[in-house]
């Protein structure tokens, strides 16, 4: 057997890496990924080519609509020298009764990676189990790790560190942003407090896992029903929409439940004087956040949105290149 054949065989035996939650990364790998994202951002700004995924292809399955996720992954692949294929549920047989297993196996024969934005987290777990190429979570109802990579990158750029910072999440603690932030905070040594109304607490298993991991690093994860308590001395204030896709029939109930959880000027007076505000977008000004906060001097939401591109490029380079 020649050297080329040996190399090919060894490569085929390598275990693929998926990205379903931030916990799929080790702590060192996560920090390295953030450094890589900042480096790729610098390369783009200076016009330095960075085609680390030349010749690679990514299938992008969208069962939920998207702006930032689609554009960041599609442009990310283009800038890395690769190609992305957009597939919504009407374009593929997955939306017409084909099993997740069959779809995973078929796509694995065509592309180098699969990104999916879907509802149930079990869908992406099954897809990853059956696919022989890396699977990336573009969003599920339980986790949104691709977004939180950009959040962590944005915090690091503005604050110069992650460890030791205090982050508060105000709103629906049982949503995907809150869950992925809990994992990210625990992994990077940030203190994090979630403030939600009764009935909207974080997933208990994810919360306790994050709290245990944080304690091992000497940081803290906590929960409160008081948004004021959570906001005190916060370096980073984060919120999300009160009604996510698929929850539209709960809108009236949610507006009533969250009315005292708006991120506004009075609440942010309790935060650190140099606090930063993050929101994954789209935002509903006048509901979860006031225009004065999201469009004010402490807001980093548009840097955060841009950083989706650079964080996703770093992730794609790691998984596909």
Residue of 141, 235, 268, 280 with catalytic role: 280
Query: What confidence score (pLDDT) does residue 91 get?
Result: 84
273 is annotated as contributing to ligand binding: no
Catalytic-residue membership of 144: yes
Catalytic-residue membership of 211: no
Q: Domain ranges in the chain?
A: 22-144+308-320, 146-304
96 is annotated as contributing to ligand binding: no
Catalytic-residue membership of 280: yes
Candidates 64, 40, 37; CA nearest to 50 is 40
Is CATH 3.40.50.2300 the right assignment for the domain spanning 22-144+308-320? no
Catalytic-residue membership of 158: no
Catalytic-residue membership of 96: no
Mean pLDDT of the chain: 94
What is the rounded end-to-end Cα distance, in angstroms, of the chain? 25
pLDDT in tens, 211-261: 999 999 999 999 999 999 999 999 999 999 999 878 889 899 999 999 999
pLDDT in tens, 76-135: 999 999 999 999 988 888 867 899 999 999 999 999 999 999 999 999 999 999 999 999
Candidates 209, 18, 192; CA nearest to 115 is 18
Helices within 189-241 (DSSP H only): 204-217, 227-231
Query: What confidence score (pLDDT) does residue 93 get?
Result: 85
Joined together, the tokens standing for residue 196 give: 């939600």
Candidates 82, 85, 137; CA nearest to 320 is 82
Joined together, the tokens standing for residue 119 give: 């509802």
Asked if pLDDT for residue 3 goes beyond 70, the answer is no
Q: 22-144+308-320 with 146-304: one CATH topology?
A: yes
75 is annotated as contributing to ligand binding: no
Bridge partners (DSSP) listed for residue 221: 192
The CATH class of 146-304 is alpha beta
Residue of 70, 121, 143, 144 with catalytic role: 144
As a whole number of angstroms, the distance between CA 166 and CA 270 comes to: 13
As a whole number of angstroms, the distance between CA 111 and CA 94 comes to: 16
Mean pLDDT of 12-23: 84
Catalytic-residue membership of 168: no
Upper half-sphere CA count for residue 42 (Cβ side, 13 Å): 7
């Amino acid at each position: 057997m020649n050297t080329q054949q040996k190399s090919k065989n060894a490569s085929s035996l390598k275990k693929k890496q998926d990205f379903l939650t931030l916990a799929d990364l080790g702590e060192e790998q996560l920090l390295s990924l953030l450094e890589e994202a900042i480096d790729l951002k610098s390369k783009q700004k200076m016009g330095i080519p960075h085609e680390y995924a030349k010749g690679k292809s990514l299938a992008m399955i969208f069962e939920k609509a998207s702006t930032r996720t689609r554009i960041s992954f599609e442009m990310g692949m283009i800038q890395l020298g690769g190609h992305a294929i957009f597939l919504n549920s009407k374009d593929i047989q997955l939306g017409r009764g084909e099993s997740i297993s069959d779809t995973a196996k078929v796509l694995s024969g065509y592309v180098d990676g699969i990104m999916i934005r879907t509802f149930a987290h079990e869908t992406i777990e099954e897809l990853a189990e059956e696919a022989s190429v890396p699977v990336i979570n573009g969003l599920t109802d339980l986790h949104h790790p691709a977004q939180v990579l950009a959040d962590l990158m944005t915090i690091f750029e503005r604050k110069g560190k992650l460890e030791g910072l205090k982050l508060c999440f105000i709103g629906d603690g049982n949503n995907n942003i809150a869950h992925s932030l809990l994992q990210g905070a625990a992994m990077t040594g940030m203190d994090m407090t979630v403030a939600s109304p009764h009935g909207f607490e974080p997933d208990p298993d994810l919360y306790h896992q994050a709290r245990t991991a944080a304690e091992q690093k000497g940081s803290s994860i906590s929960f409160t029903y008081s948004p004021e308590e959570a906001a005190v001395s916060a370096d980073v204030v984060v919120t999300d929409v009160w009604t996510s896709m698929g929850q539209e029939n709960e809108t009236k109930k949610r507006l009533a439940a969250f009315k005292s959880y708006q991120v506004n000027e009075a609440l942010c007076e309790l935060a650190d004087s140099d606090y930063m505000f993050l929101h994954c977008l789209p935002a509903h000004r006048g509901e979860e956040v006031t225009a004065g906060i999201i469009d004010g001097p402490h807001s980093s939401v548009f840097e955060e949105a841009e950083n989706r591109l650079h964080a996703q490029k770093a992730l794609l380079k790691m998984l596909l290149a």
